Amino acid sequence: MLDSWPVATLGQLKRTTLARLYGKLDHRTMRQISRTAMFLLLATFVSLDVRAEETDCSEPSADCVEMGQWDISLSLGGGVRTNPVRSNSDIPLLAIPKISYYGKRFFLENLELGVTLHETDSNAFNLIAAPGYDRVFFVRNDLQNVFINSVPSGLYAGAGFVDTTAGRVPVPGNVPLRPRRITYLAGPEWSFSRGRLTGQLNALYEVTGRHKGTEVRAAVSAPVIRRKGELVVSGGATWKSAELVRYYYELENVYEPGAAFNPFLKVAYDLPLSERWALSAFVHYEHLADAVADSPLISEPQVTTAFVGFVYKVL
């Protein structure tokens, strides 16, 4: 029944209620999994040896970069980012480019840029600008999906999709849907390291005038295995204001969501093979808050991104 949504009319919404209840059971299960995962993550961090390991950046390393130099790498491999939007197909990951540049204050990391206001060995305060993330699920050619080849659309593509390249989403019946434009969010960022623990906290406001929502991004990570290869566990959450959630997941006169809190867990492994090559793999699991998952546009209450491949350092 859920799968029939893209061709459903407004009158059919009520018939999906039962199925949605089953969906909520899944949500609870997923919430429990998320909470358990977060607990395990915190337990891992607490048990870590948190002696100071900050370096003074006297030579290039994974944590220290040379100013004025471009850093370009390309990950080649296989992976997928599941797409929670109903009838929109999963996003295959075949090639993931990474570009960064650091000046004395300015920095660029792929599509994010910023200025460092104050920095010590263990703390950094930046002003950053970052693209709105949720658009990746609606628009295949979003820059955040760059180098990710498209695959044939889902079962209901013919009935549901309306010109995805223009930023439109499936149109159920005659419900008008607005396009999801490129947005940028800007605001302060605090990042820190305490021993092996690394943290990041952003408070971002949408500055491109599309929805004027806010988003708070918070995460911590720590290496749990550090030999030749490194296994890093990260956990965190994204809080999205009601304005932001509505911009992406609202169905006018049908569904009006509130704010959302999406926790995530990530495990990543990197193994340097040579000066230019490395093996890289990661799994990133994000649980979608009810405000998002309950949207008729959404069929899955989670997003999983997984990739394994080789990283080639171009510059």
Give the binding site for another protein (CB under 8 A): 57-60, 62-68, 96, 98, 100, 102, 104, 107, 109, 114, 116, 119, 121, 124, 126, 191-193, 198-200, 202, 217-221, 234, 236, 238, 266, 282, 284, 286, 305, 307
Token representation of residue 205: 């406001």
Q: Tell me how far, at minimum, the Cβ of 212 lies from another protein, in Å.
A: 22
Q: Tell me how far, at minimum, the Cβ of 193 lies from another protein, in Å.
A: 6
Token representation of residue 164: 């995805």
Q: How many residues does the chain have?
A: 315
Residue among 193 and 241 whose Cβ is closer to another protein? 193
β-strands 302-313, 197-206 pairing: unpaired
Residue among 75 and 295 whose Cβ is closer to another protein? 75
Q: Tell me how far, at minimum, the Cβ of 255 lies from another protein, in Å.
A: 26
292 touches 257 (CB < 8 A): yes
Residue among 37 and 175 whose Cβ is closer to another protein? 37
Query: How wide is the angle at C-alpha 255 spanned by C-alphas 215 and 6, nearest 5°?
Result: 105
Residue among 247 and 282 whose Cβ is closer to another protein? 282
Residue among 254 and 281 whose Cβ is closer to another protein? 281
For 129-237, where are the alpha helices, taking DSSP H only?
157-160
Q: Tell me how far, at minimum, the Cβ of 290 lies from another protein, in Å.
A: 21
Residue among 25 and 62 whose Cβ is closer to another protein? 62
Q: Tell me how far, at minimum, the Cβ of 103 lies from another protein, in Å.
A: 9
Residue among 183 and 305 whose Cβ is closer to another protein? 305
Q: Tell me how far, at minimum, the Cβ of 192 lies from another protein, in Å.
A: 7
Among the listed residues 232, 172, 223, 159, the one whose alpha carbon sits nearest the alpha carbon of residue 196: 223
Distances (CA, A) of 204 to 60, 138, 285: 31, 21, 22
Rounded Cα distance between 204 and 129, Å, is 8
Among the listed residues 309, 313, 306, 287, the one whose alpha carbon sits nearest the alpha carbon of residue 95: 309
Q: Tell me how far, at minimum, the Cβ of 158 lies from another protein, in Å.
A: 30
Residue among 21 and 62 whose Cβ is closer to another protein? 62
Among the listed residues 239, 192, 194, the one whose alpha carbon sits nearest the alpha carbon of residue 213: 239
Q: Which long-range contacts (CB under 8 A, 24 or more apart) does 213-216 make?
A: 213/240, 213/241, 213/242, 213/243, 213/244, 213/245, 213/246, 213/247, 214/185, 214/187, 214/240, 214/241, 214/243, 214/244, 215/132, 215/185, 215/239, 215/240, 215/241, 215/244
